Structure 1
Amino acid sequence: MAAGNITSNVIVPQVLAESNYEEWSMCMKNYLIAHDLWDVVEESSNVNTADKVAAGWRKKNAAVLHAFQISCAPVIFAHIKGVNSAKDAWGKLAERYELKQKWQLLRKGRSSEELADIIQWFQGTTPDFQGTIPGASDCIDRCTVINMYMSIFSENGWSAVMELIENHPAAKTARFLRKGFPILNIVVLSGNLTRVEQLIERMSKKELETTTDHEGNTALAIAAILASTKIAGCLIRKNRNLVTIPDNNGMIPVVKASYYRYDEMTMFLYLKTPIESLDPANGGYGSLLLHFCILNKMTDIAWDLLDHYPRLAFTKFKVNNQESTPIMTLSAQPSLFRSGSELSILQRWIYSRIKVGRTAAICRNYDVPIEQDDVPIEQDDVKIQVPRKQHGLSAILQKLPGMKHLYEQKLIHKRAEETLHRISSELSKLNARQLVESGAIPAFFQAVQHGIMEFLGAVVVESCLDLLSSADENSRDMFMHAIEYRVEKFFHNEDFSKNRIFLIAYRDKDNNNVLHMAAKLAPDSFLTRISGPALKMQRELQWFKELETLVPECKEFVNQNGETPQQVFSRDHKQLAKEGEEWMKQTAQSYTVVGALIITIMFAAGFTVPGGNNQDTGLPIFLRKRLFMVFILSDAISLFSACTSVLMFLGILTSRYAEEDFLESLPTKLIIGICTLLISITAMMVAFCAAVSTMLRGQWWVIVLLVLFASIPVIVFLLLQSRLLIEILHSTCGSGIFIRKRFFITKLTISIREKMKKFARKNDVE
């Protein structure tokens, strides 16, 4: 019988919301049974159409729908608003709850992107999956897909997925989710090797090739992204052509693995990929792979690639819509070479004693294990090249903490240098026009800018004279680039002054000489390594003055704008000089306050000696005690040092701050001021300890504690100011930029000069 005028609280305690379906459905069912309405919801197949049309049935159906509608929250009511059948309305509410439960399971371990896709299904903002299976007449609805997707990631639901595939064969290649993931790719993402094997057994080779996601990724590409060699091996055994199928961005699986920096996966796929597919003539896959291998320090693969196809170094590729070449990539990676790596004294000593062998070619005749770690699957694919075993001191050093990293670093440096020589030998075969087209000239100048001296050495060894004598679009040669980018290593040799003829003679298109280049403001990459604007200004002056000493003939030359090098320097460094002045004044003011406080304290302490004075003689009571003499001496040293420090800082504050003052005058005053202030603080702590020890006499445990605590201010001051002090000492009292010491560039410079002379004589003869 139908219900009369009732409210929702008569039927259920609470209206149906997101989280109370079980309680709501139980109360609703009991209510409908009690009022003889449940048969409308539990409609059986033996109820004929005539009965349904009868007035009594329609009345019951309307009563049940009304009960549902008044017992649902507005957000739930929207899902059954247009439903005319009580049975359908009950089913929709039940389905919604079931999907909600599945969502709770799905959200565990899923990414935010995957969850966003599934949310759209629940909200009904994406269409059902009709027509998503190309060429298929059957239809897979949303609920079926959700069930299948959940089953892939569950432990016991895989049989349901296989049953779905048996009933809907086209589902094997269908794309699900808003972003279009095939079922095979989803299974690969789950990382379950057994399920991947079971699924690909039901797929043809052609289906494996054509089954891709919205980005064009095959299942092998997904395996490459996950770095799963076992799944990748399983897929390759089924269809070897998968290794050569690119995605929408033109990346084949081995390139994708190198992009994600997976060394082992990249090596595995490289050895599975036909070397012919990496030929420059067959597209840009090889150059793109070489680019990522260089970028991610996979130098063994890079060397082997160039061993097969040396021209790959000059083959163009596109990344992020920008064209480049692998040689440009190599010239921008100083960390791949010894000259670009910063090592401590101990690390340099150990580095020099580590032995690494020459890089050997990678043999393609042994397979990397896939199914098990110790069982090879095939006999004809992969052979991993292992570095030779170390002996003696080198082997002992490798066992020390942190030394493995040094060994790996030297191995990378060795392979990178061999790779560079392989490229340089190919460069020597190119003429001037080909050097421009290949991008070798900008790469060469980029290497000079980054201070990669091995690059310059390889060019000299291979006699690439056209490259050595080349200039950029601004008519600037390698010397100008080295000066402009402040590459100090370029000038670290005792024989460099013999090459000054190259420095004097050269001009760029704006008629700037080398001294004009030194007068320009250094790049930020150089200045950021130096502390404080004043020290930056000092370093810039050192560059300018030392080069001016080397080529005094260039001092009075004017450029296209009629400016001398000195005028260019003053113009470009005006702001830096102003910042340096402010920094110096602020620093000096801070130190002056500390120095003045110490002067006040130590001056007063000198007249209030520990123990007091003898009233008859006026002499200190502890005059003959050694600790008292320590106190007096320490007090005097602290006072005099503090006075000296304050005077130095006052000298900084009253300086005229001309450009030349930043070279020696201001830094020297700052050094003296900081050092004397450190001495003053140390002496003050000694004086305090001596005074307390004199009064406490035999209380040694108290004295020891006082000494320990008194050392804290000194240590803190040292820790905070040592870096600045060392940097100022090094830049002011060091040996200068064009240091006269032996470096491997010494022989390099001689070689450059000799080869350039031969080159000039050859041109004269011609």
Structure 2
Amino acid sequence: MALITTGGNPSSSATDDIELLNLNYYQELYRAALKGNWKEAKSFLDRDPDAVKARISNLKMTALHVAACEGHSEFVENIVALMPAAELAQLDDLGYTALHYAAIGGSLRSAKALLAANSNLTQVVDSEGRTPLLLAASLGSESKEVVWYLLLVTTDEKPGQPFTGPRAAYLVNVLIASGLHEISLYLLEKNPHLATAVDHQDNNCTPLFILARNKSNFLSGSRLGFLETCIYQFLPVEVDYRPPRSVRAHVVGHESVQDQLRMPTQNKGQVLHGLRRLLCGAIKPIASARFRQLQDAKLRHHCAVELVQQICKQISKKNVSERSDYLLKLEILNTATVNGTTEILRILLNFFPDLIWVRFSNNRFLVLTYAIEHRHENLFRMVCDKTARNKLMAFAVLEPRETILHLAAKLPPLSQLSSISGAALQMQRELQWFKVVENLVHPYYKEYPNTNLETARELFTKEHKQLAESGEKWLKDTSNSCMLVATLVATVVFAAAFTAPGGNNDDGDPNFLDKKTIMFMVFAVSDAISLFASLTSLLMFLSILTARYAEEDFLESLPKKLIIGLASLFIAIATMMVAFGATFTIVLSKKFNWVYIPITLLASFPVTLFALLQLPLFIQMVRSTFGRSIFRPQNIW
């Protein structure tokens, strides 16, 4: 074949053309590997057995690389059986072996086949020095079984050295960031030094910083509804610190991992826990996805707390100056406090009590000021009782020239403000914060001006002006909508009182008064209750519309009226449907004596729908207005 060149190095062009010819020759094998079609690939390999080692793509990938990258496990198993063990460790132009691709793709079957043929593949690093385990933890973390498997079969040998080398800290950090807390606990149990390892290649990140950065690792950072909170408290926590049984089955026989499988499981012998486990086991097959998510979340939260405990045990082995540098200079304390992660702070303070006195350059104490500024109730409870320590913290004048009451007067971060539904309830919570912080401050400092010569009260009014206006608009819009519904209900039930089912006789008495005594009484009573409840609701919402909307009204007056109005409206709708059902039953029961069953089901649907839609807001209002104080003190120690 004649080579046509357009300048440059003729020998180089000739090489390129030869390579192009080779790639064209392997197109059939390449397509078969992409599709996972072993029959086509086997036919090609029967004609050319050496093609099993050939580079069939521009990236110097073999058929094994391609199949592993595409996740074709059966193809990988078949072609591994035809390849020499040494060839399995070849890197392509991207710098990956087939095991790297299997780890990234989360294919346990492919990884097992490759390691069965060549157990040294776990130590082969890619072009950036990453082992398959590290790639599985960072890019294939959705497949927990693959991460477990590679962790068990990987040894700490050169060149990878995944547990003591320069990327060891990154390994434990990505495991924690991926939410693989059980695996992280196992890794730290076997390699305690990793608990305090610092990843100098990634802004000096540490395992504790990664835990503090992600609030969802802990219950304090998870926003659960009322019903979800009740279910969460009930769920048992079953932690087995060993690898899952399905993974252990794959590594039996590996000499390097037999001792790793002998780890104690958590002993849960209490009767109550056993009953919870049995009940949850029975519910789980029919439970909703949200139920299973809550169970996984509780396990993740539990393991995160255990991780913090293990890390703190390792930190306590350092000297005082090293502890200080580790916790303060690496932004761990600051991050945990800003995020309101009470679990981390409580454990840290129990291990190192002196941290409670830490203050930053602006004279802000660690817990108290950040709890107020970022509106973390759980954090504030730890320091809101009037001990000498907390009084000293409360009386400190911050820089620039402001008190903790000025912090309470400022608007919180949007993420904290939006955690409460409705502008009116947000304004109520802000007033509650201001009042409780005001009780901590000495009277001398209540009128203390800041650098703009504003007292805390003046600053509160200024900062919350827009929120108060939004709260007023929200209340008026809600009241107008609910008034319309209450008016319709009152009109209907008032008319129903004078048009009794079955009509009236010549004396004006209802015809069914004596014949259907029980159902008629149900109709009469429910109709009357519906009328009274709807009128009560109407008056409550009318009083909201005509309120003065002063700041103090948002604290109790307006929320109480809204609670009474919504409760009355719910009762009015429910009893109206009862009256309707009773009427329908009276009229049709003579010919259709089963009619009350579908009527009851249908009548309960709108009532249930109304309750489900309004219940979360209603419960939040009741708890915020009438419930126990969210600022009740809790003991740190």
Instruction: Output the TM-score relative to the length of structure 1.
Output: 0.67
Residues 161 and 472 (structure 1 numbering): CA distance in 2 closer, same or farther, change over 3 Å?
farther
Are 2:356 and 2:366, in contact at CA under 8 Å, matched by a contact in 1? no
Deviations 1:427-471 (A, max 9, x none): 342545764466665222322344433312221232262575143
Q: Match of 1:253, as an amino acid? A: P
Deviations 1:505-549 (A, max 9, x none): 334433333222222223333333322222222222222222222
> What is the deviation of 1:155?
1.1
> What is the deviation of 1:681?
2.6
Work out the CA distance in 2 between the residues paired with 1:692 and 1:139.
Answer: 83
> What is the deviation of 1:664?
1.2
1:640 to 529, 532, 535: 532
Work out the CA distance in 2 between the residues paired with 1:519 and 1:719.
Answer: 35
Residues 692 and 656 (structure 1 numbering): CA distance in 2 closer, same or farther, change over 3 Å?
same
> What is the deviation of 1:476?
5.3
1:459 to 341, 348, 359: 348
Are positions 1:520 and 2:410 aligned together? yes
1:329 to 183, 193, 210: 210
Residues 642 and 331 (structure 1 numbering): CA distance in 2 closer, same or farther, change over 3 Å?
same
2:255 to 338, 361, 379: 379
Are 2:537 and 2:566, in contact at CA under 8 Å, matched by a contact in 1? yes
Are 2:395 and 2:441, in contact at CA under 8 Å, matched by a contact in 1? no
Partner of 2:474: 583
Are 2:315 and 2:323, in contact at CA under 8 Å, matched by a contact in 1? no
Deviations 1:89-111 (A, max 9, x none): xxxxxxxxxxxxxxxxxxxxxxx
Are positions 1:500 and 2:381 aligned together? no
Unaligned stretches of 5+ residues in structure 1:
1-127, 752-766
For residue 256 of structure 2, give the secondary structure of its aligned residue in structure 1. coil
Work out the CA distance in 1 between the residues paired with 2:501 and 2:570.
Answer: 24
> What is the deviation of 1:229?
4.3
Work out the CA distance in 1 between the residues paired with 2:219 and 2:522.
Answer: 52
Q: Match of 1:471, as an amino acid? A: F
Are 2:438 and 2:446, in contact at CA under 8 Å, matched by a contact in 1? yes
For residue 511 of structure 1, give the secondary structure of its aligned residue in structure 2. coil
Instruction: Give runs of aligned pairs for residues 421-432 of structure 1, distance below 5 A.
Output: 421-428=309-316, 429=318, 431=320
Work out the CA distance in 2 between the residues paired with 1:395 and 1:131.
Answer: 71
Work out the CA distance in 1 between the residues paired with 2:264 and 2:91.
Answer: 37
Work out the CA distance in 2 between the residues paired with 1:375 and 1:632.
Answer: 74
Q: Match of 1:149, as an amino acid? A: Y
Cα RMSD (Å): 4.0
Residues 729 and 418 (structure 1 numbering): CA distance in 2 closer, same or farther, change over 3 Å?
closer
> What is the deviation of 1:290?
0.5
Q: Match of 1:223, as an amino acid? A: A
Are 2:533 and 2:569, in contact at CA under 8 Å, matched by a contact in 1? yes
Are positions 1:290 and 2:172 aligned together? yes
For residue 104 of structure 2, give the secondary structure of its aligned residue in structure 1. helix
> What is the deviation of 1:609?
4.5
Residues 569 and 194 (structure 1 numbering): CA distance in 2 closer, same or farther, change over 3 Å?
same
2:607 to 696, 710, 714: 714
Residues 438 and 274 (structure 1 numbering): CA distance in 2 closer, same or farther, change over 3 Å?
farther
> What is the deviation of 1:255?
1.1
728-737 vs 482-491, greater mean Cα deviation = 482-491
Are 2:328 and 2:334, in contact at CA under 8 Å, matched by a contact in 1? no
> What is the deviation of 1:264?
2.3
Are positions 1:274 and 2:161 aligned together? no
Are 1:474 and 1:508, in contact at CA under 8 Å, matched by a contact in 2? yes
For residue 275 of structure 1, give the secondary structure of its aligned residue in structure 2. coil
> What is the deviation of 1:619?
6.2
Instruction: Give runs of aligned pairs for residues 81-92 of structure 1, distance below 5 A.
Output: none
Q: Match of 1:462, as an amino acid? A: F
Work out the CA distance in 2 between the residues paired with 1:257 and 1:156.
Answer: 30
Are positions 1:667 and 2:552 aligned together? no
For residue 584 of structure 1, give the secondary structure of its aligned residue in structure 2. helix
> What is the deviation of 1:164?
4.8
Are positions 1:310 and 2:310 aligned together? no
Partner of 1:243: 122
Residues 209 and 678 (structure 1 numbering): CA distance in 2 closer, same or farther, change over 3 Å?
closer
Instruction: Give runs of aligned pairs for residues 153-302 of structure 1, distance below 5 A.
Output: 153-158=37-42, 160-161=44-45, 164=48, 166=50, 172=53, 174=55, 176-177=57-58, 179-189=59-69, 190-191=72-73, 192-198=75-81, 200-201=83-84, 204=86, 211-214=91-94, 216-229=95-108, 231-233=110-112, 235-236=114-115, 242-248=121-127, 251-259=130-138, 260-261=140-141, 262-275=143-156, 278=161, 282-283=165-166, 285-302=167-184
2:369 to 480, 492, 497: 480
Work out the CA distance in 2 between the residues paired with 1:154 and 1:350.
Answer: 47
Residues 621 and 209 (structure 1 numbering): CA distance in 2 closer, same or farther, change over 3 Å?
closer
Deviations 1:465-519 (A, max 9, x none): 2575143778452222222222222244698332531441334433333222222
Residues 157 and 326 (structure 1 numbering): CA distance in 2 closer, same or farther, change over 3 Å?
same
Deviations 1:267-300 (A, max 9, x none): 22223333365578731x2111111211233334
Work out the CA distance in 1 between the residues paired with 2:372 and 2:603.
Answer: 49
Partner of 1:538: 428
> What is the deviation of 1:195?
4.0
For residue 282 of structure 1, give the secondary structure of its aligned residue in structure 2. coil
> What is the deviation of 1:180?
5.0
Work out the CA distance in 2 between the residues paired with 1:464 and 1:129.
Answer: 72
Are 2:145 and 2:247, in contact at CA under 8 Å, matched by a contact in 1? no
Residues 665 and 250 (structure 1 numbering): CA distance in 2 closer, same or farther, change over 3 Å?
farther
586-595 vs 243-252, greater mean Cα deviation = 243-252
Are positions 1:657 and 2:535 aligned together? no
Work out the CA distance in 2 between the residues paired with 1:335 and 1:278.
Answer: 31
Unaligned stretches of 5+ residues in structure 2:
1-11, 286-291
Work out the CA distance in 1 between the residues paired with 2:417 and 2:462.
Answer: 17
Residues 550 and 356 (structure 1 numbering): CA distance in 2 closer, same or farther, change over 3 Å?
same
242-251 vs 143-152, greater mean Cα deviation = 242-251
Are positions 1:676 and 2:568 aligned together? yes
> What is the deviation of 1:675?
1.7
1:550 to 417, 435, 440: 440
Work out the CA distance in 2 between the residues paired with 1:378 and 1:281.
Answer: 21
Work out the CA distance in 2 between the residues paired with 1:130 and 1:230.
Answer: 41
For residue 399 of structure 2, give the secondary structure of its aligned residue in structure 1. coil
Work out the CA distance in 2 between the residues paired with 1:653 and 1:378.
Answer: 75
Q: Match of 1:315, as an amino acid? A: V
For residue 93 of structure 2, give the secondary structure of its aligned residue in structure 1. coil
481-490 vs 245-254, greater mean Cα deviation = 245-254
Work out the CA distance in 2 between the residues paired with 1:611 and 1:415.
Answer: 66
Work out the CA distance in 2 between the residues paired with 1:620 and 1:151.
Answer: 84
For residue 497 of structure 1, give the secondary structure of its aligned residue in structure 2. coil
Residues 218 and 462 (structure 1 numbering): CA distance in 2 closer, same or farther, change over 3 Å?
same
Residues 148 and 587 (structure 1 numbering): CA distance in 2 closer, same or farther, change over 3 Å?
same
Partner of 2:453: 562
Residues 455 and 709 (structure 1 numbering): CA distance in 2 closer, same or farther, change over 3 Å?
closer
Q: Give the structure with higher Rg (CA).
A: 1
Residues 237 and 485 (structure 1 numbering): CA distance in 2 closer, same or farther, change over 3 Å?
same
Partner of 2:5: none
Q: Match of 1:518, as an amino acid? A: A
Q: Match of 1:523, as an amino acid? A: P
Deviations 1:94-137 (A, max 9, x none): xxxxxxxxxxxxxxxxxxxxxxxxxxxxxxxxxx997469xxx8
Q: Match of 2:630, as an amino acid? A: I
Q: How many residues get paired?
A: 592
> What is the deviation of 1:217?
1.6
Residues 614 and 349 (structure 1 numbering): CA distance in 2 closer, same or farther, change over 3 Å?
closer
